[in-house]
Structure 1
């Protein structure tokens, strides 16, 4: 078998995942999708009480475990206020700024199951009316949702069944270019979820017996800080978060290699595990970059903060324009999957 599964399949899986609305707190449909994917390849799963999904592959060593995690929850919003002008005020879910969603199409998910479409705009959008259209702050006060319905006031909106607390998802606008780029919202972290699902599928196809019992957690609250800090077995020694690598000024991460995080806002990741990952990459001709993500936290750092006695690491594909309209390249997906494949077959780091 080749060093990487069919890239087209992985990209198709990413497209399906990003197209399922799943802001933190509203993830049941995407969890059902991943659950069904694993069921079809005969992998048993269970859900934790927070709604995340756990798959376990037995290994030769059942006394020491590994855990890998990626998250399906995304950035999003909730209806904060129904405005008198027939529009909606938002409250954000996750760490991003209003300017990142200006002009974006969205869906308003009502309690009855109906979904209304809309557009997120500045109240002062029209340059023919508002002199300060370009200068006004992009904030909760000025940004609003224009609903694609004949509404003129608060009562009209309420008659549709829209209410405070309804979830608002953002249109992913996913595109795959002929030269390998993937453009979409929510590649953080659905690109990594696709990689993990493909990894599990490959392990099953090869009938590979892992050296250690390995758990795969598809977490659903990472964007609000606590998706992967529970359901870690006492036997778990190593905990690997698979999440996006941050790209920007001063960063070494790019869209073509796997990014190995050495430190984020929580502090350094385990030095021994970081060295082990670098050595695996060099031994197997895997293109990688070491990097520090200054304003970042992961499910692995959340697990450390929760008090788990584990060795923690963080790797993932490089994602440009994180928490906005993101982009990566299929090469980064390939390198990330190759490193994970060799990692799950390797020996534990000494502690």
Structure 2
């Protein structure tokens, strides 16, 4: 089965809608409802866990040996640590991101009565007051505070607003979709991955594509804090491909164009055979790709394996510049990823033994162990000697 045509306009529109929904880890109900509705529009029945992780199964010819595609709905954010006597909020991060990117961010704190708008500022934010001390402020969460856009002169006023310790703070994404295909925004990790999955599913539905096994479309709600796909996989899933961001930076091989296939992250190598299959699918379907290794990175794949899931895992990514900051991606990568997903889920199952959870050694996979030998035809060898 060749790759399917992907509706780039749909990717763009659904991504805009996703970015418009605040969803820091711990405050994901609205985005869960949105994605559930979209899956139903695309013709799938939706199952949700108690906390809101989503599973939607697209039936294939066989139930066992199912394949899963997963992205996470939650994003980075912040949380109220204390009500300060100057009427501002001390905040701590949700997920791992630098306070350098929090400075100047517009945000919403979700209090008991509803949301209040505000700005995260350095403790010394006025050059007219502090002169060059503004530039000498250290970077860190202890050196920023949230100014709430309401009457809040002191901690007592904040209490009257029913703002309290533990309230969730959502950071504005401030997206820009440029005519040249670049997209700049916070939280592209991983709302762009969600958009890729939905676009791939739409292509499969539009073409009424048959798949050899069931495909589980999974959306998790706590990946940014390490929980991810730890409790959403069922026993009939044999392999899982995670769609997330790859980091484009000096020393990395990721790119903002095509698919970046992760060979390993901080938890170790991804499955040899599943990753090899994805590379071959890119080659046979003329999908631009590159490989990379991420040293300071983990994803839904890591959380699933650490939770004890016996599944083959792989990670395919769209290259992101300035990950966990003001991120930038390109539509080419999103379209390429969606194409790869369609090619993968419709491709034949190579490892039939994976239909069972356990089996004997018959049909078990093999990895090359012999030394590679360069073989030349006699004609080529003679030509080389004569040169």
TM range (shorter): over 0.9
**Cα distance between partner residues in 2 of 1:272 and 1:14:** 31
Cα distance in structure 1, aligned partners of 2:9 and 2:3: 14
Name the structure 2 match of 1:256: 257
The equivalent of 2:165 in structure 1 is 164
Equivalents in 2 of 1:105, 1:96: separation in Å?
A: 16
Question: What TM-score, normalized by structure 1, do the two folds share?
Answer: 0.97
Task: Determine the structure 1 residue equivalent to 2:294.
Answer: 293
For residue 311 of structure 1, report the CA deviation from its aligned partner.
0.6
Given that 2:72 and 2:190 are in contact with CA atoms closer than 8 Å, whether structure 1 keeps it comes out as yes
Runs of 4+ in 1 over 4 A off after TM superposition: none
Cα shift readout 1:184-205 (whole Å, capped 9, x = no counterpart): 1110000010111111222222
1:118 matched residue in structure 2: 118
1: CA distance, partners of 2:87 / 2:204: 52
CA contact (8 A) 1:68 1:239 kept: yes
Aligned equivalents of 2:203, 2:9: Cα separation in 1: 15
State how far apart, in whole Å, the 2-side matches of 1:317 and 1:111 are.
Answer: 37
Matched with 2:328 is 327
Q: Which runs of 5+ in 2 are unaligned?
A: 352-364, 366-387
What's the C-alpha RMSD, in Å, of the aligned pairs?
1.3
d(CA) in 2 for partners of 1:51 and 1:214? 19
Counterpart for residue 271 of structure 1:
272
- Superposed displacement of residue 141, structure 1: 2.1
**Alignment deviations for residues 46-82 of structure 1 (CA, whole Å, 9 cap, x no partner):** 1012311110011112121111100010000111101
| Counterpart position of 1:69 | 70
Say whether residues 1:17 and 2:18 are aligned partners: yes
- Please state whether the residue corresponding to 1:50 is helix, strand or coil: coil
Separation in structure 2 between the aligned mates of residue 4 and residue 120 of structure 1, nearest angstrom: 42
Count of aligned residue pairs for this structure pair:
350
Which structure 2 residues correspond to residues 144-159 of structure 1 after superposition, within 5 A? 144-159=145-160
SS in structure 2 of the partner of residue 61 of structure 1: coil
SS in 2 for 1:34: helix
Measured in 2, the distance between the counterparts of 1:84 and 1:348 equals: 62
Cα distance between partner residues in 1 of 2:56 and 2:249:
34
Correspondence list, 1:203-282, <5 A: 203-282=204-283
- Deviation, structure 1 residue 2: 8.6
**1:4 Cα deviation from its structure 2 partner:** 3.0
Partner of 2:305: 304
CA positional deviation for 1:349:
4.6
C-alpha displacement of 1:111:
2.4
Unpaired runs of 5+ in structure 1? none
Kindly indicate which of the two structures has a greater share of residues assigned to strand.
1
Within 1, Cα distance between the matches of 2:142 and 2:228?
30
Does 2:319 align with 1:318? yes
> 1:315, 1:274 → 2: CA distance?
9
User: More deviation in 46-55 or 287-296?
Assistant: 46-55
Asked whether the equivalents of residues 4 and 339 of structure 2 are also in contact (C-alpha less than 8 Å), the reply is: yes
Distance of 1:155 and 1:82 partners within structure 2: 9
Per the alignment, residue 35 of structure 1 pairs with: 36
Task: State whether residues 261 and 316 of structure 2, in contact with CA within 8 Å, keep that contact through their aligned partners in structure 1.
Answer: yes
* d(CA) in 1 for partners of 2:290, 2:102: 30
Q: Secondary structure at the match of 1:43?
A: coil
SS at match of 1:243: strand
**Length-normalised TM-score, structure 2:** 0.88
1:341 is displaced (CA, Å) by: 0.8
Task: Give the deviation of 1:149 after TM superposition.
Answer: 1.3
